[in-house]
Every structure is written in C-alpha cells, then in structure tokens.
Amino acid sequence: MNKKRIFLCFGLAFIIIIFTFLSTIVWYHFFDKQTEEKLIINQLYISNNGPQVIDQIGIDDANAVAENTPQVYSFTVENTSNQDLSYKLLINEVAPSLLTDGCEEDDLLTRDQLIYQLTVNGEVIAKDRMDTIKDDTIDVKTIKSGSVNHYELSFWVESGQKDYLDKHYHFQINLSV
C-alpha cells in the first residue's frame, strides 16, 4: 500500500509539472503576439505641420473659400519598421466638450458644410463632401518599410452655404493599424 501512495504522488506531481509547462508555453505564446502588435503600432508615426483646426473667422463671402483658396493641412506617415505595414487614416471630430478655445456647439461647422481633398505624395486620391466619409476613414494604405507618405488635407466651405461665418471645424488625424 505504501508503494501505491508513492507511485500516486509521483504520478500526480508529474501531471502538475506537465500542466504547468504547457500553461507556460500557452501564456508565453499569447504575450509574444501582443508584444509584436505593440511594436508594429509603435513603428508607424504620424507628424503634422500646424494646428488641426479649420478656422473660418473673418470670412464674409462664400467665394473667399472657393476651391482656389482652401485651407491646407500637411502631415506625414512614416514606417520605421523592417516590414511593410497596412494602416487606416482616420479623421475624427473633436467633441465640443473637449474644446479649450471657447467654441461652443453653435460655433462649429458640420461635415455637410465642408468639401475636402486628400492628396498623397502629390496625387489627389479623394475629393468630395465631408459627410460622405464612411467610418471616419479617409485613406487605407500599405506602406513599405522605411517609406514616408506625405499628405495634404484641404478643406473649404461648400458653395451655397450661408451659415458659416465665425465658425470652426475641429478635427484630429489618427492612425489605425
């Protein structure tokens, strides 16, 4: 009977060791993938030149914001990894409650009042009303390792709009990998 107990204890210890070993492998595999995703996100950078606010204060004629005088915002997306990466470029409106410049909801332009044009590396890839943008996505691209995409985002008030004087449109450009 004593031999049976010893054999049972060793068998139980062996099962616990195997279970611990397999659990460690599964745990390591899970965290290894998470670390890889974080590295990929951290190797795509976006940088901009200037504020991300469309400020229409002082405009007193719809022709003053016609297509030939849009407000242009420049930024770049750079891939510093050693592999090609895919990304979505998003334009998100800043909620009125988060604004710090004194704007209230009545002071804001809406997407249906604006036209946008997106240029990537000198080529116009989109030109339309802002309210046609689906899921805030303005571009989806794959960027090669070590490459940079240069963007210009232009806005102007759609012709025929009457309620745009002294109004703003606040936005933020984001990347989704």
pLDDT at 126 (0 to 100): 94
Same domain? For 69 and 126 the reply is yes
The domain that holds 105 is classified in CATH as: 2.60.120
Same domain? For 38 and 77 the reply is no
- The string of pLDDT tens digits covering residues 61-104 is 444 444 446 677 888 888 888 888 899 988 888 777 777 666 77
Listed ranges 34-43, 55-64, 146-155; the one with the highest mean pLDDT:
146-155
Specify the residue for token string 């802002």.
130
Q: In the chain, how many domains are there?
A: 2
The C-alpha atoms of residue 120 and residue 173 are separated, in whole angstroms, by 14
pLDDT at 123 (0 to 100): 96
- β-partners of residue 46 are 77
Average confidence (pLDDT) over 105-114: 79
Same domain? For 31 and 98 the reply is no
